[in-house]
Structures are given as structure tokens and as C-alpha cells.
Structure 1
Amino acid sequence: MKNLNCYIHIPFCTSKCKYCRFASFSGLSQLKVNNYVDFLCKEINEFSYLKPITLDTIYFGGGTPSTLNLKQFEKIFFTLKQKFTFSEKIEINIESTPEMINLENLNGWEKLGVNRISIGIQSLNPKTLEEIARSEKGDILKCFETLKIFFKKPKHISLSIDFIIGLPFVKKGGVKKDIKYLLEKYDFVTHISVYMLEEYYDVPEEIDSKFENIVYPNSWRANSIDEADYSEEYLQIKNFLKEKGFERYEISNFSKSGFECKHNKGYWNHKENLAFGLGSHGFFENIRFSKSESFLDYYSKKNISKEKIGKEEKFLEKIMFGLRTSGIEKKYLKNLNFEKINYFCENGYLQYKDDKLALTDKSVLFLDYILKEIF
């Protein structure tokens, strides 16, 4: 018996957000969506392994997985249950936009076994939402009122919401203000992810995906807080969330006790995960693989990238994931640059905490630089 996680990519959206650089498409017909679901189920059925496999997590990411109707989800779940065993404490997550939250979907997902929903909010600023082509504020508030009705009775579903620091037209303190508003009005949120908008204002010299050609309008930079203020914004949010009972367990992720995302924790601990769907990424038997982001290639089973992960690369990732989460155990430090580690400790960027080397609050924005220096 082998226990694995599983990622399933649903590349469809009702509209394409302007900041999104993931493999996703809008405006496709139901026929094309049905064809995709059929091929996805075929791909799952064709997977073979010598030992029986038990799934500990299933994560539907995208795109916007909630654009699938319940019959399409039922078909995928039926296929998964025919192929794999579900663990007793399996985590099944669906990503959604606010406008796809309705009682029919919520009750249908619950019946299928979904026990975690992740909703991309990003901001409550109407001008910001319009600029980035996200849900309107009214749709977000309607979504939460629907969730309030749904959660009136005890549920085995937990709720995570996402925000982004650095979006256009959001003033200093704006993200914290939005989070505060929702948490004080709705007590059923158990997990919050807070990301920072990266500076994609120019096309990189080397790209691995056509979606990396997507760049942001220069007007965003002019109408956003300075990148130098990101750290202060982040720390204000972190401290506020701590007061509300949310502990940080990874740089961008905060949760109430027991509501951490098991699937993402698996990534950070090098747990093997299967991956199905266009543009999906997986890790199995020390092979990291990814499927093509082209429908033609995906349906033809072409351009599947595979890379064997050696001991050195796995060690480097262990150090990176360790700093992003709870810290690096001392036994792994012997191969690092102690002179640089001591420098960062003396200057307040690293610290020894619970017998591990960990980031401090002020080093969050400098993780990439710190990693480069200590190797």
C-alpha cells in the first residue's frame, strides 16, 4: 500500500484575471469542458502502479474548478474511487470564485466528500476588483451570506480565503482592513492565505510557459503601494491574524489550530503526489513531472516534462521549504555557509527557534537572497 496526494487541474474560468499566469482559459463551450472531463477520467484510469494506492489528499486547482457542474464532478469522483482507495481522513479541496458559491454547489460538493473550500477574494476594493477582472464586491458579500446560511448547521467542511498584497488602488492597510471586516462579521473562516503580487512588468528573458508572457500594466505600479511597504503590510496582517487565533505555518499561510492545508504541507515535505490534467505538476518516485499546457499536446500525450530529483536538489529544496515553514533542523546545517548564517542571525534576519534555524518577521521579503547566500 502506498499513500499519496493527488492534484487535479481544471483549466477553466468564467473570465481570466489580469494577474493570473497559470494555465487557464475562459469562454470555452460546455462541449469542450465535457471533452476535457472525459479525457481527464481516461488519464486517471490509465495510471498504473504495482501496489495499491491510497489517496490522503485530493486538490482541485486551476483555473477555477468550481466552474464544473455537479455531474462533471460526480464523474471525476467516480473515476477516482474506482481507481484508488480514499483514506479515512482524506482532505478534498476545491478552489472557487465567490460567484460560484451557492447552496446547490455547496450541498453537492459536501455530498461528494469535499471537506475544504478555498475562495479567492484578493480584495474588497471595488476599483481594484474591476481593474483585475475579479468578482464584484457585491458578489463577494453575497457569497459570504450564502456561506453563513450553509454553516448554520455543523459541517465537515472548512473554509480558506485568499488575499493579495500589492494590487492596484489598494492603500496601505487596505488588505488588513478587508480581512478584519470579514473575520469580525463571519466566524466560519478557518484559514487565510496572503500572497504578495510579484513584479511581472516585463517578459522574462527565459520562459517555461506561454502564460509567463503575461505582464502587468505599468499603471498598476503607479497605483499600488511601494514594494518597500510590503513587509510592513504583511507584518500588520500577521500580527492581527495571531490575535484572532490564526497561526502562521508557512510564509503565506495562516490557520486556526487543526485547519492547516494537508495537501500543501505535503508539497513542503516532499510527499509524493500524483497529478492529472492539462498543465498539472506532480512528484512520484523521485521524478518531478509536468503535463503540457496546450490542449492539443495534452490530448496527444506529448511534451510531458520529466526531471529526476537527485540528493543535492532535494537537499536544497528541503532547506528552502524548511525556512518557509517551521525552520531547518540543526543536523541539516553542516553543509551550509555558517559565516553567512551567523551574519543573518546577528542582523536579525535569521534566528534559532525551537532548536531550528528559522526566518524572523523582517526577513520574509528576503528569503530568496538569504537562500542564495547560505548555500
Structure 2
Amino acid sequence: MKTLGIYIHIPFCIQKCLYCDFLSFPKGRQEQTLYFDALKKEIETSAEECRDYEVVSVFFGGGTPTSVDPQHIVEIMKILKKFYNLRENAEITIECNPGTADATALREYHEAGINRISIGLQSANDEELKRLGRIHNLRQFEECYKNAREAGFVNVNVDLMSALPGQSVEDWERNLKYVCGLNPKPEHISAYSLIIEEGTPFYQIYEGEAAQIEKNGVVITGDNKDEYPPLPDEDSEREMYHRTGEILGANGYHRYEISNYAMNSEGEAANVGTAGPLDDDGGKYECLHNKRYWQGGDYIGFGLGAASLFNGERFHNTSDFRKYLEASGTPEKQDAERLDTAAQMEEFMFLGLRMISGVSAGEFKNKFGQSIEDVYGEIFAELISEDLMVREGDTIRLTDKGLDVSNYCMAKFLI
């Protein structure tokens, strides 16, 4: 049976962070109820076209899924179990911001069948959290983490963000060491670098534009720039990147994707081996759902603006809240595109090379009926000569040097 990942978008949040460009916003309880009615209809309506698939992963993302009444999430879990072929040990994740889920809610999520939780700490420094516009502090994170463990979660991810305003390399090292010192340690750590996205308050601040954004009652313009600490320079950001791997590696984590680290299972060596097949966990705590994105597996998104790659077609739902509600469970596909062979090859390479284990030449041949060398041989030779890529038997992967300049390397594979 073919396999499938499901993404469920919960667009609600209590307050939008200064760096956030995700499709999310605060809404009242009445609007939330209307949204979940439409979302449940969409999930039920789509069950028939998914009946030949085994669902191996589910991911509740946002927004902040834990900011809504937990019963909404529980009801969706009931629908998934009733109408979809859920694998017995399917990975089911919910994103959680500290301060938005109490002990009772966390127990309800776990009892409903959610077995993985991703907690958005971002920083263990309260001052850094304030600069980001986060609504929680370190004490609230610690309470959330404790409650998640007591609720029964044995697969916990913690999100961290580096290169924050005013952050030094030493500040970042303290954040990493703090998370590694949690008892028990999180099974997974996502360590991302802050990206200043257009349209966010941080973009207005750090790009110095004259346009204004009102955020939480404060008008932010480029003229406010001097009121915010500067971003770390390029050398400091690069040092943070390297220290991440060193510190997490020393604490029992292996990097399996550019920004993601999983705890080594008992007896498991650091994962730098061959590229594994789709749906192979590769390591007990590697995020199976996100690996589907990087390995080109089918996934379907439900909810406002949710994206899908299903049966060779890429599309997404409308991002218009009112139109989504009016669709009565059948939102129109937006920007539908059937990927031709060239586009599929491109994605196979530039997404697959995000994985530390790289891509498989044999899998490429099975998928496309062509030798990977016939298509990309010249590019391989160039990158290998620059010590940015290595070929080991069936596996082609970026070296540590190549991972440092991954955007440059991946751009080479756009046919």
C-alpha cells in the first residue's frame, strides 16, 4: 500500500511574533468553531481519495495548535482514526508554544493518540524571548516540558533559534547547553537560524523601510532600528552554526538534516550512512513527517492555505479565511501544478541533499528510469572537485563544507 503524510493547519495564535511570516492570526472562539467545522468536513470529504494510502504521519502545525480548545484537536483525531488507514505506530505530532497548553490539555492530546510534541522554546533567555515577541518565558517552558513528560510524551522536540538580535556566540552556546541539560533530554532538537522575512515587523526594523506596521499596539518603522539590538555579523552566525553541531554531537545527538538533530538510540552510531528509503525512520527519533517533504513522499494538507503533494500534483488551499469557510469542506485547489519529470528530478536532488545521508543513485534510477550520472554527472564532478560533495557507493551527499554553502550547491540542480 502507498504511504501518506497528513498536515493539518491550525492558523490561530494568541499573538504573532515579530519574525513570523506564517499564515496565522488571533481569532475569537466563535470563528475558531466555524473553522474547525469546515476543517473536519474537509478531512472527511477527502477520505475517499486517500483510501488506498496508509497514513504514516500526521502533523498539527500552525499558528499554535495548542492555543485552541483541546477538544477540537481530539475530535479531528477521532475522524482520522475513523476514516483513514492510520498505521498502528504512525508518528503524530502537535506543535506547542509554552503557556498555551496546561497539564490537562497535554494529557488529552496524548490520550487521543498524539505521540510526539514539538515545543517552541526558541531561546532559554527571557530577554531574547521578549525581543522576538514571544508570549512565554523560560519558567513557562519548564512547566510545559514537565507537564508533557508527565502526560506520557516520550518523543519531544524542542525548537531553538540562533542569530537573534543582540545574541552573541556565547549566548547561543548557553541556550544549547541548557536544552541538553534538561532531564530527561529532548529526543529531538530543531536548531534554526533567524531569517528576516519580508512583510514581518523585523523586516521593517532591520531593512530600514519607511512603511509602518502596528504590532501589539506599537508602531514599528525603519526609524525604530536604533531601538533594537543589531543582528549578529556573518562570522558570528557561522560560528553559531558550527558550535551547534559540536555541542549537540557531544551530547548524544546526530544531525540528519541541515537544521535537525535526533538523539542517538541505544547502541546507535551517529547517522552519517547511506540514504534510507522513504518511511524508514533511519533513527528512532528522526521526524518521519518532515523527512517525507525532503524525500518527495506524498503528503496532503488540510486547512487554510495548507499545501499538498499528492499523486504527482502540487497545490494548496485558499488562504482566504472567509472563502475557506464557505467552501463547505471542499476548498478549491490553488496553483495546482502537475510536476513533470524534470521538476521531480530537481526536487529529488535539492530537497534530498538537505538530508545528511544524501540521495540514492539506485532510487533515482528506479524513480526516473535514468542514470543519475547521465543527468547530473557534470555537476557532481564540479562539486566533488570543490570538496563540496562526496560519492560513496550508491550514496551522494554534501560534505560538511558543502552543507555550509548548501544553497549554492542545491541551486546547481535546477535544470
**Structure 2 length as normaliser, TM-score?**
0.80
Aligned counterpart in structure 2 of residue 320 of structure 1, from 350, 371, 388: 350
| Aligned partners of 2:253 and 2:262 also within 8 Å | yes
Deviation at 1:146, TM superposition (A): 4.6
Partner of 1:159: 156
Deviation at 1:108, TM superposition (A): 0.9
After superposing the two structures, state which structure 1 stretch, 79-88 or 308-317, moved more: 79-88
Instruction: Supply the AA of the counterpart residue of 2:238.
Output: S
Instruction: Supply the AA of the counterpart residue of 1:148.
Output: K
Instruction: Confirm or deny that 1:358 pairs with 2:400.
Output: no
For 2:158 and 2:74, locate their aligned partners in 1 and report how far apart those are by CA, in whole Å: 25
Gaps of 5+ in 1: 204-210
| Aligned partners of 1:102 and 1:143 also within 8 Å | no
- Specify the SS of the correspondent of 2:405: helix
| Aligned partners of 2:168 and 2:232 also within 8 Å | yes
Aligned counterpart in structure 2 of residue 334 of structure 1, from 374, 377, 388: 374
Instruction: Confirm or deny that 1:308 pairs with 2:334.
Output: no
Partner of 1:292: 318
| Aligned partners of 1:231 and 1:364 also within 8 Å | no
| Aligned partners of 1:110 and 1:157 also within 8 Å | no
Partner of 2:141: 143
After superposing the two structures, state which structure 1 stretch, 218-227 or 174-183, moved more: 218-227
Deviation at 1:199, TM superposition (A): 3.9
Aligned counterpart in structure 2 of residue 197 of structure 1, from 194, 198, 202: 194
Instruction: Confirm or deny that 1:46 pairs with 2:50.
Output: no
Deviation at 1:357, TM superposition (A): 2.5
Deviation at 1:112, TM superposition (A): 0.4
Cα distance per residue 1:210-245 (max 9 Å; x no partner): x68983512399612113432221111111111111
| Aligned partners of 2:7 and 2:302 also within 8 Å | yes
Cα distance per residue 1:153-200 (max 9 Å; x no partner): 8x4531001111221121123223112112213223010011122243
After superposing the two structures, state which structure 1 stretch, 299-308 or 177-186, moved more: 299-308
Partner of 1:206: none
Cα distance per residue 1:131-150 (max 9 Å; x no partner): 2211343xx33332453355
Cα distance per residue 1:314-370 (max 9 Å; x no partner): 1111111221101133452331252x5344333332233465232222333422222
Instruction: Confirm or deny that 1:226 pairs with 2:226.
Output: no
Aligned counterpart in structure 1 of residue 288 of structure 2, from 262, 281, 303: 262
For 1:213 and 1:288, locate their aligned partners in 2 and report how far apart those are by CA, in whole Å: 30
For 1:212 and 1:152, locate their aligned partners in 2 and report how far apart those are by CA, in whole Å: 36
**Structure 1 length as normaliser, TM-score?**
0.88
For 2:31 and 2:149, locate their aligned partners in 1 and report how far apart those are by CA, in whole Å: 34
Work out the number of aligned pairs and report it.
361
For 1:304 and 1:352, locate their aligned partners in 2 and report how far apart those are by CA, in whole Å: 39
| Aligned partners of 2:119 and 2:159 also within 8 Å | yes
1:50–1:283 Cα change, 3 Å: closer
For 1:114 and 1:50, locate their aligned partners in 2 and report how far apart those are by CA, in whole Å: 21
Gaps of 5+ in 2: 207-224, 265-283, 362-370
Instruction: Supply the AA of the counterpart residue of 1:327.
Output: G
Instruction: Supply the AA of the counterpart residue of 1:133.
Output: G
Aligned counterpart in structure 1 of residue 258 of structure 2, from 251, 270, 277: 251
For 1:85 and 1:2, locate their aligned partners in 2 and report how far apart those are by CA, in whole Å: 11
Aligned counterpart in structure 1 of residue 203 of structure 2, from 215, 232, 242: 215
For 2:32 and 2:177, locate their aligned partners in 1 and report how far apart those are by CA, in whole Å: 37
RMSD: 2.4
For 1:213 and 1:317, locate their aligned partners in 2 and report how far apart those are by CA, in whole Å: 31
Instruction: Confirm or deny that 1:171 pairs with 2:197.
Output: no
| Aligned partners of 2:74 and 2:108 also within 8 Å | no
Instruction: Confirm or deny that 1:187 pairs with 2:217.
Output: no
Instruction: Supply the AA of the counterpart residue of 2:88.
Output: E
